[in-house]
Amino acid sequence: MPSQHTAAAGQEEHRRCSRCQARKPLSGFYRNPASVCKACHNAATRLAGEVRRAALAQLVRAHQAEYLRLLAAERARRAAIPEPVDGVGGEAA
């Protein structure tokens, strides 16, 4: 199956990233017709993960008693589930 990123006559096309404004070959972009290069997309994804983790940490600090209560309940629930014996899950036959 031919790659979507190859141009006719072996000459690779370029595209301009809408974030960093750099001209990059099509291999520098994900396959969907994206306007943001892989480097900018990955940086944005990392930033979103960091923001999500910071927001979660702030929520835990603000509601610590409720978090600890929910954590204890989840640990108790998991302790009550029997360990899989057959390696697949569920109870032993």
- pLDDT value of position 83: 80
Q: What are phi and psi of 46, to 5 degrees?
A: -60, -45
Q: Give yes or no for a contact between 26 and 15, defined as CB atoms under 8 angstroms apart.
A: yes
Task: Record the pTM.
Answer: 0.59
The band of 63, judged by pLDDT with boundaries at 50, 70 and 90, is very high
- Residue at 16 is within a domain: yes
Q: How many domains are contained in the chain?
A: 1
DSSP string, 58-92: HHHHHTHHHHHHHHHHHHHHHHHSPPPSSSSSS--
Q: Which domain holds residue 18?
A: 11-80
- Residue at 66 is within a domain: yes
- Residue at 67 is within a domain: yes
- Residue at 2 is within a domain: no
pLDDT tens for 31-57 read 887 899 999 999 999 999 999 999 999
- Residue at 90 is within a domain: no
- Residue at 3 is within a domain: no
- Residue at 92 is within a domain: no
- Residue at 54 is within a domain: yes
- pLDDT value of position 86: 74
